[in-house]
Structure 1
Amino acid sequence: MTEEGYDHVAVERRWQEAWDEGNAYRTPDDVEDPTYVLGMYPYPSGKLHMGHVRNYTITDAYARYRRMNGDDVLHPMGWDAFGLPAENAAKERDTNPRDWTLDCIETMREQMTSMGFGYDWERELATCDPEYYRWNQWLFSRFHEEGLVERRDAEVNWCPECETVLADEQVEGEAELCWRCDTPVVQRELEQWFLKITEYADELLEAIDDLEGWPNSVRQMQRNWIGRQFGTELEFAIEGHGSVEAFTTRVDTIHGATFFALAPDHPISEELAEEDADVRHFVEEEADPEGDEPNGVETGLTATNPVTGDEIPVYVADFVLSDVGTGALMAVPGHDERDHEFAEKMGEEIVPVIAPEPDDWDGETVPDAPDVSEAAFTDDGVLVNSGEYSGLESAVARERLTADIDSAEAATQYQLRDWGISRQRYWGTPIPVVQCDDCGPVMVPDEDLPVELPEFINTTGNPLDAAEEWKETTCPNCGSEATRETDTMDTFVDSSWYFLRYVSPDLEDAPFDLERANDWMPVDQYVGGIEHAVMHLLYSRFFTKVLADHEGLEHREPFENLLAQGMVQLEGEKMSKSVGNVVSPQRIVEEYGADTARLFMMQAAQPERDFDWSEEGVRSTYAFLTRLKELVEEYAESPPDGDDDAVASYVESEIDAAIAISSAEYDDLTFNAAVRESQALVRTLRQYAEYTEPHAATYERGLSAVVRLLAPVAPHIAEELYDALGNDEFVADAPWPSATVDRDHVEKRRNLVENTREDIRQIIDVAGIEDPKSIDVVVAPEWKYDALEIAIESDADNLIGELMQNSEIRERGDAAASYGQDLQAEREALTRPLEVDAEYDALESAVWLIEREFDVPVRVVRATDADDDVLRNAEPGRPAIEIED
């Protein structure tokens, strides 16, 4: 023990070495009760930050909890080791990405070990290892065989700073910045490799409803990203340009279409821009799809409404997007807010064609048209001003119009686009394709995998383009000279299946052992940042479904339960190097220990909530662990020899409460509530030892329980104290403590005691009693418990009448009628208390607490021993209080 606290350095070093020597966290391959716990693997930047520590403490605590409950737990760690940051760092330091990455991995592994994370390091993987990315290439070939890979020209997001393509999900914010370097993204036309995720769009969308263990926010983000819309495709004739296809979800509003709009990059817009200076200026200088208001330019052209035959003006407008729908739309300002705003700006007509359905509508008459001059009416309703279709409900009109319009057909559109995986960079998985002048693109045969990266060349652009010797190869088909594909894969390919590799990381003839994967999958608990909701998580779901369809995987979803952890902040701001408010995990470990850092973060807030880092909170946590260590060591040195009395009974009940409640909170990953229970139990044990000589068995049970309850969160000190209590096994392998009663019982017992103490405080305060002589706590008579049970079970309108059918209650006369009226008034809020004997026992065991607080004798009195005037105030769960002044 140091002057300020315990020697955390020695404790943590000792148990980390013991775990390592004892292979404490090794997961067997063949298991009976598998539980897979996983945190999103990190990019190896070289330093753990507080977000890492929080994320991995969550998974480590849950994994340890499940292991102590008897599960076979898989809790691995690996490294998202490819990516542009390592390439840029290598360029800046005149080294190579591999050496830089491996150095960072070694540093972060040491930091994770110092935090006490219980990983099976034998399953460690790094995506930059050829033995890993070989299987990226193998999977690419399988996807290609199944028709899920395509190479085509495409307009792509290009980061000029990173000199690489970005997926839509990697372009952030209204300013459209690169997610890695915040450089404005531009559009370029390139030949790219795509994975056809759109083939699975419907299943990806519909299966979201079954992801009950995922946060609703993440599920909704995926729904929005997939963006499925049911509607109608139909043609509008534009003079001089033939028919143009438009998509609408509201064909019922077609009679109100007063103008037509084209995306700035629609082929007709581009053609017009070559001829019309105004259109060219708008397209090149003014169009801003992310602007605050819609903008556009007249073209002088008209489009023909296929239903009315009306000629309506054509605009090029920046609120029309080429990758949404068809890049052309009919604009109905009376029933679309954006169209309404644009029509007002351009002076176009606003015509109402949908009216709200009247409350008394007979289904036949046509209601009055609404006033849409100030705002659009955007709901479904009844058609008006729509010729023969007037009077139809919107849904009926959509079906009939789609059938009646010659060029129309029902259609489904998606916002989701195929996943472009080509990246013009070095530090990634080489795409296993060679380009042959005679054969075209040819897959590299499986036996020639992996296609390994050549030595790094520090150059601008794509270093693989400069690797001339590596590029030169022969065609696997015809043997002619050929050139290797120089694009590498998006690193999200690596993370789309890495969780499967963990089940058999050393397997040499397949990406994963299918039988083991079917045993372990899906991941029972996955933890990571919500920023991956529409990238990593969506791609992982896609890969899992493809592997289920074509490789025999039995599960179609990768993650059963998902927790998106909140941020660690300092004074309300996210910790960031740029802000200068980063707290170093290493400093905290050195000053206070890993257990203190882990325990503080788990007690500060629910895992999904943001919370503020507090040095005062850290110090308080360290002091708590120090006090606990003192408590256990004092017991170990000199066990007490007190009586098994009512006080011991109360402590036993609090031990049960801590175990029952903590277990439920660990199940729900609400570690802050679980930790509070452990801290409360420590306070109770200290009070017990200060009040009387504790009963040895009760006291030892309490200490053993609290040490095990804290073990998932503070594993080093828990090992130290579990050893001090005379145990030979690791606490990591110890059985989780068990309670003799369930959570409902212990919470009722605890609430009864605390409410009774609070009632006593209020009576003393309100009555102004300065020196009470005695306190009687009077338990309600048994007939009131019977009446309460009848009231809870009964659905009779006349509750008092039903109560009076019970002879025991009826004999109580006016007292029964009065209590019945109270029950009738509170009927919706009635709950079952403890049974009468259990209530008496609970109060009797808590007498010492009341005497300790008020320094007076206290009695718990049964109804048979109490006066009637006192009993009148006693109710089940709320005893009467009589205080002698």
Structure 2
Amino acid sequence: MSRRSYNSAQVQEYWQHAWDREDVYELTETDDPTYVLGMFPYTSGTLHMGHVRNYAITDAYARYRRMCGDDVLHPMGWDAFGLPAENAAHERYTDPESWTDACIDQMREEMETLGFGYDWSREITTCEPEYYRWNQYFFRKFYEEGLVEYKAADVNWCPDCETVLADAQVVETDDGDVCWRCSTPVGRRELDQWFLTITDYAEELLDGLDDLEGWPDSVREIQRNWIGKQEGATVTFDIDGEYDTGRVEAFTTRLDTVYGATYLALSPGHDLARELAEEDDDLAAYIEDARTDDVAELSGVETDATAINPVSGDEIPVYVGAYVLEDVGTGAVMGVPAHNERDHAFASEHDLPVRQVIEPVDDHRVDLDSEPFTGQGMLTDSGPYDGLASAAAREQILDDSDAVETDTTYRLRDWLISRQRYWGTPIPVVHCEDCGPVLVPESDLPVELPEFVQSRGNPLEESTEFVETECPDCGRPAERETDTMDTFVDSSWYFLRYLSPDLDSAPFDAETADETLPVDVYVGGEEHAVLHLLYIRFFARALADVGLLDTREPVERLINQGTVLHSGEKMSKTKDNVVSPHEYGAETTRLFVLSAAHPEQDFEWTARDVNSSYDLQQQLYGMVAEFTERAVVREQRQSHDEYVAREIDRTIQAVSEHYDRFRFHRAVSEIRTLAALLRQYREFETPHEAVYRRGLSVLARLIAPIAPYLGEEMWNMLRGEGLVAQADWPEPEHEVGHADIERRIVEQLRDDVRDIVEVAAIEDPAEIDVVVAPDWKYTAYEIAREADETDALVGKIMERESMQAVGTAAQRYAADLQDRQQELRPVLDPEAELALLERASWLLGDEFETTVTVRQASEGGEFADKAKPGKPAIHIE
């Protein structure tokens, strides 16, 4: 490789070996390390750009914190179970395990090529029995704690995947509900299924969101809406007739509209609906169609039953309607068409009466034939409650009626974990005709998957050796459960297994977990808000309640990475717009994805911007190579050397703050700016050896977390001690508390000089004089900044004797400050500003190839009158 040209592909193997040799990324000290974690990948076979962005974020932050002196835990593993592996194996005439192992090998190699610094000694793979044994262990613990239910339920069914889906795995689209994996329309089936009762934690999960200050507001809001807490009342309707289900409870958040109920609607799965269907063939057929999702949303059937409104005494018809969901609320709806949109749509479809019982309190007019009035108001046509406001009426009705009780419901449903697939954790249950479902004893765990047999349905059902067993309780012949667990069970606790991956006596070391958790930084996509991110919060709480863990919130800070776009669309194989992470080189790709935008923002992949990242690497490498080949330097330090030294310090401070806040794009911008300054400094005059070497050394360390191979090459050429990955993060040598102010003053001065030269058409400036303001102006400026806006500012300034001595000029300046009081920003004191401008004057001299003189006010003559704090006067010959 040319000493002036950088190619990461030619050096990456060497530095990977060096990192491995020094165990740079292996954590040995586990006393409360900084835990940096990216959502581990599904084993799809190749890394895509979303993976690269996620893992580049965690890797850069982990490297930065390690250089800051932290013990850092940065592990990696594989989300290795799941239906896609079965499908991929089927397409390739192999088995899921072989396919998964091949994918892992390829993805691990790609990660190493990209320079990701993981502690591979902690690598986990969820499809290994040593891992999923503990899924089964947790199932037993949760079962014993009452957190597992086995029940018949109408479930979401994907006919293409041939498996059930949890509610969170059903995606709502304009064309209906579809599978989150394959986008096939989802139907309904009734099956005996296993559930984790996440609803037991609905209130705690909701309340806990308020404490997750390190999480994006968008994720917290998504979870808040998914939990869907609703406070209202349950109204009990008596059913007229001889039915086993003689009463029906309906939940409502608008008890004030109870007089407007013109029908009672039941879900197709409601007990009364099923009872009525026994005597009504048309109703039975409708319920069967509805169960398979073969009916329109607003369809419904009127039954022979009627219900008695317990508040008004009205007798209303009972319908069975598809829009009423069995697992939401009570599975029954008090239909109030005049004041609820869905009820109005159903009533319009079935020609049911619309009775207004709430009137707006303003001049708002509503045509109830076309839309309902859903706002609060005053009651009308509501018997003794006429004239009451909505809120007051709800309280009064609650007090008056024994058939009404306050109630709280949640949209959140229990977590359905049964999957009719092979490639997952076998559920550790044996079904016995005499004993029912029986847990597999802990001593018999893990229940391992048998050899794979290709079949259309569930391969486990085809394995006689697996299915046929004995009941652990009575010893009689029995059958194993053939459903496997939802793969989100695997990922709900994997961050704990990283802490003690080789432990055989427990899923994780409890003491280590309590010292390490919560995860300090977790990076992943927002699309997992109500899947993985909700489940890990539930799992932590459940583990705490069975005595295995103390921490109930597992993640302190969550970073959602945005999407990488190409031609305006998300990169996708189906859209044929995928860019391979290695197409432009590992380090160019890393540098680009981190410098293009804030981690949480989407950005467009463009060849021009990628080339800019490539050019930056070449510039940084070339600067160091040139310096080390022929270092022509001087020893005597001058004022402009001090300016560069302070700019190095300012850059260190700014980049450190950006790394802390995950603003890698701004960190790269600061690095570019410092590199440009150092090039200008080198070309302006022979640089001071210590200042220039330190600048290059700082650049090597600042870029190392983002471009680790480049950082190592630069550090090595500069003869830095050891590896840059283990080097100390640079510290400023000077106080940089006013860095932003100083930069603003210098940049404003340069812009002002450029404007004057352009407007006055000065082609070849002979001399530039810069004059700072007199001291009294700084005094007046600070009085103005510290004064309240209500103060009579001119009088407040002129009451000072020093201002009175100046006279009219001070009064005019005070008036100017009063007009601009809200715009006044912090400035330096006159001595500090003078010193800054003297140090920075070389920038103007270099740019305009002329002499620059910085003068204090007493030497500036008439020009001093034009100078202001932070904005010196300028005279150009």
TM-score by length of 1: 0.93
State the distance in 2 between where 1:375 and 1:645 align.
Answer: 79
How far residue 622 of structure 1 moved from its aligned partner, in angstroms, is 1.8
How far residue 427 of structure 1 moved from its aligned partner, in angstroms, is 1.0
Which residue of structure 2 lines up, in the alignment, with residue 27 of structure 1? Answer: 27
8 Å CA contact 1:78, 1:125 repeated in 2: yes
Which residue of structure 1 lines up, in the alignment, with residue 803 of structure 2? Answer: 809
Which residue of structure 2 lines up, in the alignment, with residue 448 of structure 1? Answer: 444
State the distance in 2 between where 1:289 and 1:377 align.
Answer: 30
Residue pairs, 1:459-498, within 5 angstroms: 459-498=455-494
How far residue 315 of structure 1 moved from its aligned partner, in angstroms, is 4.4
Q: 1:150 to 1:347 in 2, by over 3 A?
A: closer
Which residue of structure 1 lines up, in the alignment, with residue 857 of structure 2? Answer: 863
How far residue 285 of structure 1 moved from its aligned partner, in angstroms, is 7.2
Which of these residues, 709, 716, 727, is aligned with residue 720 of structure 2? 727
Which residue of structure 1 lines up, in the alignment, with residue 153 of structure 2? Answer: 154
Q: 1:291 to 1:63 in 2, by over 3 A?
A: farther
8 Å CA contact 2:4, 2:626 repeated in 1: no
Letter of the aligned partner of 1:712 in structure 2? P
Q: 1:662 to 1:290 in 2, by over 3 A?
A: farther
Letter of the aligned partner of 1:115 in structure 2? L
State the distance in 2 between where 1:369 and 1:42 align.
Answer: 54
Which residue of structure 1 lines up, in the alignment, with residue 56 of structure 2? Answer: 57
Letter of the aligned partner of 2:822 in structure 1? E
Which residue of structure 2 lines up, in the alignment, with residue 548 of structure 1? Answer: 544
Q: 1:742 to 1:749 in 2, by over 3 A?
A: same
Q: 1:4 to 1:783 in 2, by over 3 A?
A: closer
Q: Is residue 2:244 matched to residue 1:252?
A: no
8 Å CA contact 1:287, 1:295 repeated in 2: no
Letter of the aligned partner of 2:483 in structure 1? D
- SS for the counterpart of 2:874 is strand
Which residue of structure 1 lines up, in the alignment, with residue 520 of structure 2? Answer: 524
Render the CA deviation track for 1:420-474: whole Å, top value 9, x for unaligned.
1111111111111222233222222222211111111112211111111222222
Which of these residues, 663, 678, 691, is aligned with residue 685 of structure 1? 678
State the distance in 2 between where 1:290 and 1:675 align.
Answer: 56
Which residue of structure 1 lines up, in the alignment, with residue 183 of structure 2? Answer: 182
Letter of the aligned partner of 2:838 in structure 1? E
How far residue 341 of structure 1 moved from its aligned partner, in angstroms, is 4.6
How far residue 70 of structure 1 moved from its aligned partner, in angstroms, is 0.6
Render the CA deviation track for 1:118-165: whole Å, top value 9, x for unaligned.
000000000011111111111111111111111111111122222221
Which residue of structure 2 lines up, in the alignment, with residue 635 of structure 1? Answer: 627
Residue pairs, 1:10-409, within 5 angstroms: 10-31=10-31, 34-174=33-173, 175-240=176-241, 242-269=246-273, 296=300, 302-343=306-347, 348-355=352-359, 371=366, 373=368, 375-409=371-405
Q: Is residue 2:604 matched to residue 1:612?
A: yes
Which residue of structure 2 lines up, in the alignment, with residue 825 of structure 1? Answer: 819
Q: 1:275 to 1:823 in 2, by over 3 A?
A: farther
Q: Is residue 2:784 matched to residue 1:791?
A: yes
State the distance in 1 between where 2:755 and 2:294 align.
Answer: 61
Further displaced range: 207-216 or 340-349: 340-349
Letter of the aligned partner of 1:320 in structure 2? V
State the distance in 1 between where 2:815 and 2:61 align.
Answer: 49
Q: Is residue 2:600 matched to residue 1:599?
A: no
State the distance in 2 between where 1:336 and 1:816 align.
Answer: 69
Render the CA deviation track for 1:534-557: whole Å, top value 9, x for unaligned.
011111000101122222422111
Letter of the aligned partner of 1:835 in structure 2? D
Which residue of structure 1 lines up, in the alignment, with residue 574 of structure 2? Answer: 578
8 Å CA contact 1:288, 1:318 repeated in 2: no
Further displaced range: 176-185 or 198-207: 176-185
Render the CA deviation track for 1:274-321: whole Å, top value 9, x for unaligned.
777886787677999999995656557654332222344544444332
Further displaced range: 520-529 or 283-292: 283-292
8 Å CA contact 2:778, 2:829 repeated in 1: yes
8 Å CA contact 1:12, 1:717 repeated in 2: no
Letter of the aligned partner of 2:769 in structure 1? D
State the distance in 2 between where 1:279 and 1:59 align.
Answer: 57
State the distance in 1 between where 2:736 and 2:347 align.
Answer: 62
Render the CA deviation track for 1:716-758: whole Å, top value 9, x for unaligned.
1110110111123111111111124576521211111111111
Further displaced range: 660-669 or 316-325: 316-325
State the distance in 1 between where 2:292 and 2:387 align.
Answer: 39
Which residue of structure 2 lines up, in the alignment, with residue 362 of structure 1? Answer: none
8 Å CA contact 1:497, 1:543 repeated in 2: yes
- SS for the counterpart of 2:582 is helix
State the distance in 2 between where 1:283 and 1:71 align.
Answer: 62
Which residue of structure 2 lines up, in the alignment, with residue 698 of structure 1? Answer: 691
How far residue 39 of structure 1 moved from its aligned partner, in angstroms, is 0.4
State the distance in 2 between where 1:291 and 1:217 align.
Answer: 34
Which residue of structure 2 lines up, in the alignment, with residue 562 of structure 1? Answer: 558
- SS for the counterpart of 2:437 is strand
Which of these residues, 599, 608, 616, is aligned with residue 624 of structure 1? 616
State the distance in 2 between where 1:208 and 1:773 align.
Answer: 65
Which of these residues, 406, 409, 413, is aligned with residue 410 of structure 1? 406
Further displaced range: 871-880 or 386-395: 386-395
State the distance in 1 between where 2:824 and 2:285 align.
Answer: 72
Which of these residues, 737, 740, 745, is aligned with residue 747 of structure 1? 740
Residue pairs, 1:656-667, within 5 angstroms: 656-667=649-660
How far residue 34 of structure 1 moved from its aligned partner, in angstroms, is 1.4
* Identical pairs, percent: 55
State the distance in 2 between where 1:780 and 1:48 align.
Answer: 59
How far residue 272 of structure 1 moved from its aligned partner, in angstroms, is 6.0
Q: 1:322 to 1:478 in 2, by over 3 A?
A: closer
State the distance in 1 between where 2:811 and 2:349 align.
Answer: 73
8 Å CA contact 2:81, 2:127 repeated in 1: yes
State the distance in 2 between where 1:743 and 1:526 align.
Answer: 31
State the distance in 2 between where 1:415 and 1:55 align.
Answer: 31
State the distance in 1 between where 2:131 and 2:291 align.
Answer: 45
State the distance in 2 between where 1:198 and 1:655 align.
Answer: 55
Q: 1:409 to 1:881 in 2, by over 3 A?
A: same
Which residue of structure 1 lines up, in the alignment, with residue 534 of structure 2? Answer: 538
Which of these residues, 644, 660, 663, is aligned with residue 651 of structure 1? 644
Q: Is residue 2:800 matched to residue 1:800?
A: no
Q: 1:284 to 1:787 in 2, by over 3 A?
A: farther
**How many pairs does the alignment contain?**
869
- SS for the counterpart of 2:593 is helix
Further displaced range: 629-638 or 503-512: 629-638
State the distance in 2 between where 1:647 and 1:835 align.
Answer: 20
TM-score by length of 2: 0.94
Unaligned runs of at least 5 residues, structure 2: none
Q: 1:804 to 1:332 in 2, by over 3 A?
A: farther
8 Å CA contact 2:438, 2:471 repeated in 1: yes
How far residue 190 of structure 1 moved from its aligned partner, in angstroms, is 1.1
Q: For the aligned residues, what is the CA RMSD?
A: 2.6
Letter of the aligned partner of 1:653 in structure 2? R
8 Å CA contact 2:785, 2:821 repeated in 1: yes
State the distance in 1 between where 2:809 and 2:354 align.
Answer: 72
Letter of the aligned partner of 1:646 in structure 2? S
8 Å CA contact 2:422, 2:458 repeated in 1: yes
State the distance in 2 between where 1:679 and 1:417 align.
Answer: 51
Letter of the aligned partner of 1:750 in structure 2? R
8 Å CA contact 1:353, 1:369 repeated in 2: no
Further displaced range: 669-678 or 178-187: 178-187
8 Å CA contact 1:475, 1:482 repeated in 2: yes
Q: 1:279 to 1:798 in 2, by over 3 A?
A: farther
Q: 1:815 to 1:285 in 2, by over 3 A?
A: farther
State the distance in 2 between where 1:372 and 1:739 align.
Answer: 70
